[in-house]
Structure 1
Amino acid sequence: MSKKPEVIVYTDGACSGNPGPGGWGAVLIWNGKEKELSGGDPQTTNNRMEMQAVTEALNALNKPCTVIIHSDSALIINAFTQGWIDSWQKRGWRKADKKPVENKELWQDMLEAMKPHDVKWVKVKGHAGIELNERADQLAVAESKKF
């Protein structure tokens, strides 16, 4: 059986004001090739842009892959590595304090985008000189400045 292709992804979101104009960026690496993706929203939040970056990167893949996502978003990383997302769904998209999970529709979009892939999560420190994370950040910031 053939192994799924491995894609390395770096994602980031940016927001000028929170809420305010925002952008997201992603750098995908497969087979020695790089692809940059970015987009934005005139009125959004940083968390929404972080989530959009992951979803857009996953949706850009045209076949099932092993995807290693690098993000500086503790919320996203912890949601998947610490089982928060499973708990939220079991509680009807409510957090432990019974409050609704913010951005439920974006979490659902991300889960849908993940379905064909084997996703692994890597937490990176933001603004720490990690080249591809800095590049994703630059893409996100550039998009946010378009509004």
Structure 2
Amino acid sequence: MKEWTEIPDIELFSDGGAEPNLGKGGFGVILSYKGRQKEFFEGYKLTTNNRMELMGVIFGLEQLKTKSKVQVYTDSKYVINGITKGWAKKWKKNGWERKKNIKAINSDLWDKLLNAISEHIVEFNWVKGHSGHIENERCDTLANYGINSKELNQDIGYEPNETHNNQNSSTNSTFTKKNKTKIENAGDACRKCGESVVKKAPKKRKIKTNQSYYFEYYLFCPSCKTMYMTEGGKREIVNENRLFE
């Protein structure tokens, strides 16, 4: 049996995205071992941001031919939280249901990721995207190479009829087949990290000249701090001189 010290130490950097989301997608991966690096990227015809984030990490792990100690670096809290908070294991245990009668999204990739992790000793690390992190920035570039590739793969596991939250779809008339990622209600899953968004009221401010509407509230992701301005929160200005008195 090999000693602990003989297990290789690998750094895996990954980034992914779709333009638009849902649309053409790609991921970029860097594997680093003893200062040597290998780069990979792939592109897909129709997919989502979260699927590309997941697929990048899975792809990187699947390149390793021997059991390794792997430090995974990604700017996707969706991926990190799904593993470190035990969401994916719980969903799998529950037959890939996030809640009763609510299907877990991207279950095919979560299953692949859990299987890939089981082959290694893996630790996940979050890095802030677009903040000058060298490998993360390079992976972003590689992901764009994939998106703009002339030869795009088919994301076979992607199910076009899935929504990102699988709830309120019957009552949300703006949640159309064309745009599955529209954020409209508190509790919807953030497009960037998958956390449930909450409703917040903006700071009071003076109405600008010729302004015809304002937002009574917006939706906010407490995890990655993304803001969503919605039609439901929009209010037409009737008497702009008295709105914020």
TM normalised by structure 1 equals 0.95
CA contact (8 A) 2:92 2:111 kept: no
Does residue 47 (structure 1) correspond to residue 50 (structure 2)? The answer is yes
* Root mean square deviation of aligned Cα: 1.2
Relative contact order: is structure 1 or structure 2 higher (C-alpha 8 Å, sep ≥ 6)? 1
What residue is the counterpart of 2:226 in the other structure? none
Aligned equivalent of 2:129: 126
Q: Is the 8 A contact 1:40 1:49 kept in 2?
A: no
> What is the CA distance between 1:135 and its match in structure 2?
0.5
Q: Which has the larger Rg?
A: 2
**8 Å CA contact 1:25, 1:37 repeated in 2:** yes
Residue ranges of structure 1 left out of the alignment (5+ in a row)? none
- Tell me the residue number matched to 2:64: 61
Taking structure 1 as reference, are residues 101 and 35 closer, same or farther at Cα in structure 2, changes over 3 Å only? same
State the alpha-carbon separation in 2 of the partners of residues 72 and 46 from structure 1.
Answer: 12
Choose from 74, 90, 111 the match for 2:114.
111
1:61-106 deviations in whole A, cap 9, x for unaligned?
1110000000111111001111111211222111136411111111
Q: Aligned equivalents of 1:106 and 1:23: distance in 2?
A: 15
SS of the aligned residue for 2:103 comes to coil
Normalising to structure 2: TM-score of the pair?
Answer: 0.58
* Equivalent pairs, count: 147
User: 2:230: which partner in 1?
Assistant: none
Are 2:107 and 1:101 aligned? no
Taking the aligned partners of 1:97 and 1:75, their CA distance within structure 2 comes to 21
Q: Quote the Cα distance in structure 2 between the aligned partners of 1:69 and 1:134.
A: 15
Partner residue of 1:81 out of 69, 79, 84: 84
Q: Unaligned 5+ residue runs, structure 2?
A: 151-245
Q: Which has the higher helix share?
A: 1
Looking at structure 2, the residues matched to 94 and 10 of structure 1 have their Cα atoms a distance apart, in angstroms, of 29
SS at match of 1:18: coil
1:12 alignment partner, one of 3, 11, 15: 15
